[in-house]
Structure 1
Amino acid sequence: MTEDLRIIKTIRDIQIGFIELLQTKSFDKITVNDICKTSLVGRSTFYHHYTDKYDLLERMIQEQVDIFDQLLFNRMQEIDQDRLLIELYDGLNKDTRVIITLLKIPLEKGSLKSFYLKSLKKYFSKIAPQLNLKVPDDFLGDFYANSALTSIIWSLKNGHQDEIAEFMNDLVRKLIR
């Protein structure tokens, strides 16, 4: 069963309004009232879809994590790992503004960055044992995840750059020789 188009548009409007507010205000300073005014929805409509602003944030983060995980899963099904970063950039590019904005929100736990790192570490942990390197697999996972995420974020902020992906691929190839 498909969801009502009005609901889809309302949720989209709330999320767009929230991202707009985050361009000028910190998350802590934003109120549900601010979100409703910017989104042109009533408070009861907001509360029909979300418990509070934290629920809105958590769901938006989860949506981005699901997209990221699906992109990684799709890459795991293919042999050509050299295209991983390029495909991640391409897959995330349509939501650049949302991703960059959500990455800026400092959270104790459950930040978008921490979820992305966890996904990348999980992805690399499946590859690391096959490499037979003399360093611990968890070190390699941390190194790869942080390096890959840095290059992804940099490319989202500065525009897609094949050179960055190629540099990262060369780095990984040198690591596994």
Structure 2
Amino acid sequence: MPDLRVRRTKKLLYDSLLTLIKTENKRFAEVSVKQICERAMVHRSTFYHYYTDKYDLFFAEISLTDAITIDQRKKRLLQPFQMFAQQQNYDLLWQIALNNQDDSHFNQLVGTVVEQILGADLQFLIDVEVFPVPLEIVFPVYAHTIGSILVYWLKNGKQEQPQVLDAYLTKLLHPIFFESLRS
């Protein structure tokens, strides 16, 4: 378990980043490490001791990769939109996504992180013998399908519920994939 001072410092930095984005309605690209550190009252060298940049801070502290059970991993793969809706910072994360939908670097990083998280879940759950396609192909297809559904949802004013988005995902991807996860 990390030192309480380390946990407190990381929380201050993360909260500072979120505050800059939320209350000042800044886009992610507009926020600087200097601003994050000033608001958190943490020296820049301390920031760089823990993180390489603001993107590293954001994705390291987003808490999507906490220790979870096998059933939670399955649910995250089968119902990713419903699981995301249960996230602690759900509304804030959506606000960040909406404010930064034109930031290609940020969107690429989001896609990479989602791919890594879901890829780790797939690697953990799927027996390679059962699934007829190499996992190196499955990871990006699955992640980009989720991304495409998200883009559709955002462009259409977030009208559908997470359950409907999960149903779209199931219909788009081959049923064998989902059957192997349910077993």
TM surpasses 0.5: yes
Q: Which residue of 2 aligns with 1:139?
A: 137
> What one-letter code is carried by the residue in structure 2 that aligns with 1:158?
K
Change (3 A) 1:118 1:89: same
Q: Which residue of 1 aligns with 2:175?
A: 174
Q: 2:116 aligns with which of 99, 102, 118?
A: 118
Cα deviation, residue 139, structure 1: 2.0
* Alpha-carbon separation, structure 2, partners of 1:93 and 1:16: 12
* Alpha-carbon separation, structure 1, partners of 2:32 and 2:78: 44
Query: Unmatched 5+ residue regions in structure 2?
Result: none
* Alpha-carbon separation, structure 1, partners of 2:134 and 2:36: 46
* Alpha-carbon separation, structure 2, partners of 1:152 and 1:128: 28
Query: Unmatched 5+ residue regions in structure 1?
Result: none
Cα deviation, residue 149, structure 1: 3.8
* Alpha-carbon separation, structure 2, partners of 1:151 and 1:24: 25
Change (3 A) 1:50 1:83: same
> Contact 2:115/2:139 (CA < 8 Å) preserved in 1?
no
Cα deviation, residue 123, structure 1: 2.1
Alignment of 1:158 onto 2:151: no
RMSD, matched Cα: 4.4
Count of matched residue pairs:
167
> What one-letter code is carried by the residue in structure 2 that aligns with 1:129?
V
Change (3 A) 1:103 1:60: farther
Between the two structures, name the one with larger relative contact order (CA 8 Å, sep ≥ 6): 2
Change (3 A) 1:87 1:168: same
| TM-score normalised over the length of structure 1 | 0.60
- What is the identity percentage for the equivalent residue pairs of Structure 1 and Structure 2? 11
Q: Which protein has the larger Cα radius of gyration, Structure 1 or Structure 2?
A: 1
Higher helix residue share: 1
| TM-score normalised over the length of structure 2 | 0.59
* Alpha-carbon separation, structure 1, partners of 2:31 and 2:143: 32
Change (3 A) 1:31 1:137: closer
